[in-house]
Amino acid sequence: TVDKHSIEVMNCFSVPHNESEDEVAVDMEFAKNMYELHKRVSPTEVIIGWYATGFDITEHSVLIHEYYSREASNPIHLTVDTALQSGKMNIRAYLSAQMGVPGKTVGVMFTPLTVKYVYYDTERIGVDLLQRTREAPSRSKGLTSDLSQVAGAAARVQDMLTTVLAYIEDVLAGKVAADNSVGRFLTDLVNKVPTISPEDFENMLNSNINDLLMVTY
């Protein structure tokens, strides 16, 4: 979806292709059929470009980009470094521009764009679980219980509060220069905390517990 100067990538699908040193063949009929099926499910979404796995832009990228130039006025080329050649799974986006002398050989230059990762809270749970597999000897990790997830979230919040309090104490002691943007952010964060009396909070908690017990038993 396109909103002013931002483009949000919501979905994607892979297209079969074959590459050799001299040429690249893409199954355009497959891409067309997949897009028609996709429009039945998400009629408001349109093609804004294409993606490829890899770290660099190759000569074949220019050929594939020419095809998608007929599907979108100014297609975006997205690269995903699945081989971790840069040490992490980098995701980069590019726009193409023609370059060269008029009437002569014309080349294509890919200009990088700013990429921002956005995720929903439910997606963050899955990403955190995948991250924990890096430290496991078997490279696998079982799903945790709801109580363990709540305890882990509470521990992370406590660690963040400890970091914030240490920063505030250092600013008050003159050890660290004050940052106005951080101060405004913390003020806005404090103002968002709901004000509720301990009695009302206890009544609300007990009510939720009773509802949970009723559903359980």
pLDDT in tens, the chain (217 residues): 566 677 778 888 888 888 777 777 888 889 889 989 988 988 888 888 889 888 888 777 888 888 888 877 888 888 988 888 777 788 899 988 877 767 666 777 888 888 888 777 777 777 777 777 777 777 777 777 777 878 888 898 899 999 999 999 999 999 989 899 888 998 888 888 778 888 888 888 888 777 777 766 6
Compute how many other C-beta atoms are within 10 angstroms of the C-beta atom of residue 72.
Answer: 13
Q: How many CB atoms lie within 10 A of CB 64?
A: 19
- Provide the whole-model pTM: 0.58
Q: Which two tokens stand for residue 178?
A: 């004050």
What are residue 8's phi and psi, to 5 degrees? -105, 125
Pairwise CA distance, residues 161 & 153, whole Å: 12
Q: Give span(s): CATH 3.40.140.10, the chain.
A: 2-113
CATH of domain 2-113: 3.40.140.10
Let me know: does 45 contact 9? Beta carbons within 8 Å: no
Q: By three-state DSSP, how is residue 50 classified?
A: strand
For residue 66, give the 3-state DSSP assignment: helix
> Shortest CA distance to 78 belongs to which of 23, 115, 117?
115
